């Protein structure tokens, strides 16, 4: 019985991911990553998702759920099982509109950036790289 319970607990996050539509996954990613940055910050994150989808020839949902790409979907993120709640925030309507029109977004807004991070961290991949755009608390890079 313990093994069954453990298996169910391990599978719940994967089941939750599959329960969301493409637009919801993209909107949740935008909200989790930049809802505190206003519409400009959310648009910028949408630009990065769109750029990666184009470059990697994957769906925006696949880009968002790709392992270690957006911290909100990482297995070790304590908020991961509650991400769906973000769709009830005041910013959700805008994020859902961005998600619905993700292929029409003007990616040049962020200099066609395919990576970003907040000013408070220094990930290994940004060492020696110059951002192509700085918006709010985020630095955007084209790698």
What mean pLDDT comes out for the span 39-55? 98
DSSP 63: H
Could you tell me which residue, 12 or 138, shows the higher pLDDT? 138
Q: What is the pLDDT of residue 121?
A: 93
In this structure, is residue 41 part of a structural domain?
yes
The total of structural domains in the chain comes to 1
- Assess whether pLDDT exceeds 70 at residue 8: no
Joined together, the tokens standing for residue 91 give 């910013």
Q: What's the rounded Cα separation, in Å, for the pair 59 and 12?
A: 23
Asked, for residue 32, whether it belongs to a domain, the answer is: yes
Task: Taking residues 54-83, report their average pLDDT.
Answer: 89
Show the domain range for 92: 2-108
- Give alpha helix (H) positions in 66-105: 92-100
* Residue 115 belongs to a domain: no
In a domain, 53, yes or no: yes
113: in domain = no
**Average of pLDDT values for 82-105?**
95
| Structure-model confidence comparison of residues 74 and 111, the more confident one | 111
What angle (nearest 5°) sits at the alpha carbon of residue 102, between those of residues 57 and 114? 55
Give yes or no for residue 13 having a pLDDT over 70: no
3-class DSSP state for residue 143?
coil
In a domain, 123, yes or no: no
Residue 7 lies in a domain: yes
Residue with the larger pLDDT of the pair 82 and 92: 92
Residue 141 is assigned to a structural domain of this protein: no
Q: How far apart are CA 104 and CA 112, in angstroms?
A: 13
**pTM here?**
0.84
């Amino acid at each position: 019985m313990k093994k069954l319970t453990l298996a169910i607990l391990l599978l719940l996050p994967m089941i939750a991911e599959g329960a969301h539509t493409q637009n919801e996954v993209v909107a949740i990613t935008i909200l989790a990553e930049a809802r505190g940055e206003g519409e400009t910050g959310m648009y910028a994150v949408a630009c990065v998702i769109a750029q990666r989808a184009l470059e990697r020839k994957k769906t925006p949902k696949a880009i968002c759920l790709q392992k270690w790409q957006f911290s909100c979907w990482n297995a070790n993120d304590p908020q991961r099982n509650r991400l769906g709640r973000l769709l009830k925030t005041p910013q959700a309507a805008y994020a859902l509109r961005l998600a619905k029109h993700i292929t029409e977004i003007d990616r040049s807004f962020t200099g066609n950036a395919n990576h970003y991070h907040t000013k408070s961290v220094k990930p290994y991949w940004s060492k020696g790289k110059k951002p192509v755009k700085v918006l709010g608390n985020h630095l955007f890079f084209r790698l």
